Structure 1
């Protein structure tokens, strides 16, 4: 699979901090970062003074910090999101110049938007970019950001929640495979989201928003709908799972909650679909093998 893939991880380790220091020593990486020297000094002080394996709480002072990983779980950059009132500002860096030109920046922007709008509940996302930073300008513009203001040296782009949701529904990313949800499942899942903590299910909310909603009697028989059973390949392991609502979940019996990592991942995909999804602390290659039972295909519309 040649499509770019990026996931954002909120946990920052000492090894991550050392990687960040290496990136920030490269002038081509830092030349457009207004606070690069401050960031470098901060990271160096943290590494020298704090002998902890996990440094997340320190990096999240004044905002939220995420390491960006590719499909091989190799760090490729970072994202910082700072929320002020209803607005959120994104700072993004792809750290290794060898990764420039692989469209990892655009993929990272999409993941950052997902967090800003679905997890942090921002109403507007802002990116302030140096006027000469042509790669970042192109990446944000191609992601749908609109120019809001500019000076000779700085351009400010913005994405509103309303525009983001419209683009998500009307123009799904080229890198994303279409998924399908029935009208009944869509209504039930939205009711479920109303009672769940946003930080726990923001990935599920994102998938529901981008899904193509279809009539329950017209959904293809090879689509994983709610209460379906399917053979799913996780990397090199094939497992039989049922996709259920949280109250029916039983991991030992292979009944996966739609709010779980794998449960959210497989919702709406069809037989033969292959995609990457970060689950807990690593990225899994997931393939939908065979839908063994689908309520709609069996005429069990009450499920």
Structure 2
């Protein structure tokens, strides 16, 4: 069975706003949504105030707003991350009722955690859920959240940054095949992430869940740094090299490890297939063959 896939997109268009309004008119969607009135009101104001096709800036006040897409690039829901100092509150809904029962809510929660902890650097993520909303409570429980407090009208579930990283390292989520990274590559990439040179949340997520091995112990079929590989990208077969940002030249097939494609294939091995959002749309990626790997060639200095 194909695992559920969700990607979160920060761009909010006028068409998205109208779709959100449709979802929020469905009582089945809003009956347990803690801030449905606030969301609905803000959307109405955004639509009324401007005729601009892109409304992202109007949705990102007091936090960040994302549309949730499935693997077919259909919008199926939304995520709102609300800043509260070191803490962050997550509000989400799968608005497309035809997609209910497919574990998309759980996957959406995990994508929201990735952004909250690795991009927004929240220390703690909170979800406030109505006690009768058993489906949401189970989804947050499956995602590793712990019950923090409970009243007759509200349950509060929490995840700390430390616990999130621990679960990643233990591969508790099992959303994708396991990946490998060499100790040398990880040390260099950790330094790159510390400098935050470019978008690094996806890369950091992959590094945290990777199996770390000595350079001479990594399988020769694994995509390591400076590896060249033959990759199937949807229906197109291309040759890709994963390089550090300063060596990137996408026209020559050299993709930065911070780029969508570079972060996507790092650590995977021949035969692995994944879905990944690249340049605004979901792509199917398969590692067909590793053409050159520095470690296999004895080029440990690369």
Residue 214 of structure 1 corresponds to 213
Q: Are the aligned partners of 2:231 and 2:286 in contact in 1 as well (CA < 8 Å)?
A: yes
Residue deviations 1:209-242, cap 9 Å, x none? Answer: 1111011111111000001100011111111111
Q: Does residue 295 in structure 1 map to residue 300 in structure 2?
A: no
Give secondary structure in 1 for the equivalent of 2:195.
Answer: coil
1:85-114 deviation per Cα after TM superposition (whole angstroms, max 9, x unaligned): 110000010102221110000100010000
Length-normalised TM-score, structure 1: 0.97
Report the alpha carbon displacement of residue 254 of structure 1 after superposing the two structures with TM. Answer: 0.8
Does the residue aligned with 1:147 lie in a helix, a strand or coil?
Answer: strand
After TM superposition, list the pairs within 5 Å mapping 1:14-53 onto structure 2.
Answer: 14-53=14-53
Equivalence for 2:237: 238
In 1, distance between residues paired with 2:195 and 2:37? Answer: 44
Let me know the Cα RMSD of the aligned residues: 1.1
Q: Is the 8 A contact 1:5 1:71 kept in 2?
A: yes
Contact 2:42 2:59 in 1 (8 A): no
CA contact (8 A) 1:172 1:210 kept: no
Cα drift, residue 196 of structure 1: 2.1
Cα contact 2:126–2:158 (8 A) shared by 1: yes
- Cα deviation, residue 178, structure 1: 0.5
Report the counterpart of residue 168 of structure 1 in structure 2: 168
Query: How many Å separate the matches in 2 of 1:10 and 1:21?
Result: 17
CA distance in 1, matches of 2:141, 2:209: 20
Alignment correspondent of 2:179: 179
Query: What do the CA deviations read for 1:169-206 (whole angstroms, capped 9, x no partner)?
Result: 01342221101001111111111112224x71111111
- Partner of residue 60, structure 1: 60
The residue that corresponds to 2:263 in the other structure is 264
Give, in angstroms, the shift of residue 164 of structure 1: 0.5
**1:55-103 superposed Cα distances (whole Å, 9 cap, x missing partner):** 0000111110000000011001000001111100000101022211100
Q: Which stretch shifts more, 38-47 or 62-71?
A: 38-47
1:135 Cα deviation from its structure 2 partner: 0.7
Q: How many residues align?
A: 302
Give 3-state SS (helix, strand or coil) of 1:221's partner. Answer: coil
**Structure 1 runs, 4 residues or longer, greater than 4 Å off:** none
Asked whether the 8 Å contact 2:276–2:284 carries over to 1, the reply is yes
SS in 2 for 1:132: coil
Structure 1: where are the runs of 5+ without partners?
none
Contact (CA 8 Å) 2:171, 2:209: kept in 1 or not?
Answer: no
TM-score (norm 2): 0.97
Task: Quote the residue 2:202 is aligned against.
Answer: 203
Given that 1:265 and 1:277 are in contact with CA atoms closer than 8 Å, whether structure 2 keeps it comes out as yes
- Name the CA distance, whole Å, in 2 between partners of 1:191 and 1:42: 40
CA distance in 1, matches of 2:141, 2:195: 35
CA contact (8 A) 2:264 2:276 kept: yes
CA distance in 2, matches of 1:34, 1:231: 47
Aligned to 2:13: 13
Matches within 5 A, 1:53-92: 53-92=53-92
Corresponding residue of 1:255: 254
